[in-house]
Amino acid sequence: MVRHNNQLPDNLPQLQNLLKREPDTYREEFIQQYRHFESTLEVFRLSPSQQCQALQEQVNFLAQVAHCFAEELRLLPQQLADLLDSHNSILDPEMRMAFCKALILLRNKNLLPPYDLLQLFFRLLKCQDNALRDFLETHIITDIKNINAKHKDVKLNSTLQNFMYTMLKDSNPKAAKMSVDIMIELYNKNVWNDSKTVNVIASTGCFSKFTKVMVASLKFFLGKDPEEKDSDSDSGDEPNARESAIANKFNKKTRKRGKQLEKVKKLATKSKKKKSKAPIFSFSALHLVNNPQGFAERLFRQLESSNGRFEVKLMTLDVISRLIGLHDLFLFNFYPFITKLIQPHQREVTRILQFAAQASHELVPPDVIEPVIKGLVNNFITERNSSDVMAIGLNAVREICARCPLSMNEDLLRDLAQYKNYKDKSVMMASKSLIVLYRNSQPELLHKRDRGRPTEATAELRNKKYGEVDTKDYIPGSEVLLQDAPQKEKVEENSDDSSDEGSWIDVNESGSEINIDSDSEDSDDESAQVKKGKNQKKRKILKAKKPTEKVKETTVDAQDKVEVAQKMSLERIFTDEDFKRIDKENIKKQMRVAKAMKRKFSEIDQPNTSELVQLGDIENIYKKRKHDKKARIESIKAGRAGRDKFGYKDGRQNVNCSKTNREKKKTKNYQMIIHKAKGKIKRSFKDKQRAFKNYLVKQKKMR
């Protein structure tokens, strides 16, 4: 049937709408448009650098209706792909973008396999078109993410990763940079978060001949440093702190008990923060490196032979130091290299000190890391430097010794401890922090006056030798669970089993035995005898069914604490209440003064050394800094947070009740109260004299 006056071939949007609703009815018009497209495409291939608006519109039209005529348009994706693959560098930017959008539309309609399209788009990243590269990068990331949304397509991911491996070695720097950016973005989106992606970036990206690719790969392994959240508020809900506060409320108030209460609060708050804080893996990609020793050695060789920018060298040093500290690597050449950079005038010296601390661990031989400590002491901790430089040096020494305690010798430690009396507060606090570190790890190295008052926790420490690991097969503090429950609980259990409410049981709270008598008269006689003793108290409870027997309390003092803790750890499943009792006992150990005993197994935690050394720990200077006007205003606004607004406050309990005349006067117009305001004007001496005269005349007349 021939349609006269048919204007549909000239109106593609209308024909597109009709084809989507009734494809069979307008099949003839579609075939006509497809033949027109093929002829236009043949003409365009003769001069692909020219822009053809008609071809651009026809490609968009066919991509929109391709799902309605899948059989007729089965060759369309390959035609567009061949055109882009062969003429991508000379095509007009608008035409190239139009062809890519059409292919993406066909891919969304499942008319094109994902691998073929992604492989084509990776090759198109070489084009000198920033808008096209950004568009393709967004689509590649989105498409791969959608493919792996429900389940991982292992075969496709492996094929694409192998292709990306070759793209990273491409001679085009922009294609290589875009490829590594795509891999990093997919890793951050948890799509390609496997070891293969990490090792491709590690083996190829970090050693690329293009600086931008290498910097992007190094930044990937560095990640972002976690933000430190300061929380100075004490936790009032901590059970140990609350119990101590209640006890202090009823006991006699002394200055010593007040100080102990504050100390318990600080210890309880600190332990709670440490437990509630989740482990930080700010550079978790380094955990997935297959050969960290070889990776670190290659990076260090590249660093030694590099003549690049100083910032890139710093990033390389940072990655190497994190690898050494995280995997406990042996890279002995690293420490002499970084010792040369430890100078007060060195650029970014605080970051270099941070790298030295990150590269320290317990398996590093003390004689290898000792030159770093001596370099710090000789170059920083001298009185010819400023107090800030000395404080930074002491802080750096503390961070290194926290991870490698054996690197410090006794003479040097005692010399550094002398700065606790230095005139500057920042140096004094840094020295005290070093003393506290060794007070809780190796107090024998300190002078006797610096060891502090030993507690039950610190009195059981012992010195570890190089390579020795202090592992425990028990939970420290679990021996407290063998102690008898409070007497009140036992009394309630015995009272439940009693049948004779007229008899009594005497419990000696001060002794180690509980006497249960069957006769109430004998119980009274026993009570009278015990009253004669010193420091003994008794109370009466209901009698149990069983005859006279003795229940002996389990005392931990008679047994070795370690053996008891081992036994408890093997034979008992701990509950939340048990762990609360253990935590409470460990805090008490840090408060109770120790008896004279030899130092043996440690039952306190070593200093918390995270994987990443915070730069603020080294730059921590106790000094009030000068702030500019903007910083002062921000500080003032931060102090006003949560505070009531200043100015007039309405003191009425009911805001809907009426106000007094005095309050209403404050909102009235001045012209309304001017006559009253005039009365407040101070009278002159003449007016006062005249008024006093009139008063006297009036008084005289009244007489």
Are 434 and 517 members of one domain? no
Tens of pLDDT, residues 342-365: 999 999 999 999 999 999 998 999
Last residue of a domain, one of 135, 167, 195: 195
Whether the per-residue pLDDT at 239 is higher than 50: the answer is no
Whether the per-residue pLDDT at 282 is higher than 60: the answer is no
**Cα–Cα distance between 647 and 665 in angstroms, integer?**
17
Are 308 and 385 members of one domain? yes
Tokens of 537: 């108290």
Are 409 and 491 members of one domain? no
pLDDT of residue 582: 78
Are 21 and 145 members of one domain? yes
- Give residues with Cβ within 8 angstroms of 633, minimum separation 6: none
Q: Which residue has the tokens 């204007």?
A: 7
Amino acid type, 82: D
Is 316 within the bounds of a domain?
yes
Are 493 and 394 members of one domain? no
Are 176 and 244 members of one domain? no
User: Could you give phi then psi for residue 542, rounded to 5 degrees?
Assistant: -70, 150
Are 243 and 389 members of one domain? no
Sign of CA dihedral 596, 598, 603, 604: positive
Is 599 within the bounds of a domain?
no
Number of domains composing the chain: 4
User: Could you give phi then psi for residue 256, rounded to 5 degrees?
Assistant: -65, -45
pLDDT of residue 302: 93
Is 310 within the bounds of a domain?
yes
Which pTM does this prediction carry?
0.64
Tens of pLDDT, residues 470-499: 677 677 777 777 664 444 344 444 444 444
Are 272 and 299 members of one domain? no
Are 155 and 75 members of one domain? yes
Q: What is the DSSP string of 439-492?
A: HTT-GGGS-GGGS-S-BTTGGG--PPPTT-----SS-TTGGGGGSPPPHHHHHH
Residue (of 95, 190, 101) closest to 152 by Cα position: 190
CA distances from 422 to 211, 308, 427, 575, 617 (A): 47, 42, 7, 49, 20
Share of the chain above pLDDT 90, in %: 21
CATH code, domain carrying 78: 1.25.10
Give the domain extent around 40.
Answer: 8-195
Are 386 and 437 members of one domain? yes
Is 32 within the bounds of a domain?
yes
What's the mean pLDDT in 398-423?
90
Is 428 within the bounds of a domain?
yes
Are 259 and 375 members of one domain? no
Is 371 within the bounds of a domain?
yes
pLDDT of residue 248: 52
Last residue of a domain, one of 618, 646, 666: 618
Is 257 within the bounds of a domain?
yes
Output DSSP code: residue 612: S
Is 449 within the bounds of a domain?
no
C-alpha torsion 382→385→390→393, nearest 10: -80
CA distances from 107 to 102, 572, 592 (A): 9, 60, 72
Are 37 and 180 members of one domain? yes
Last residue of a domain, one of 618, 646, 665: 618
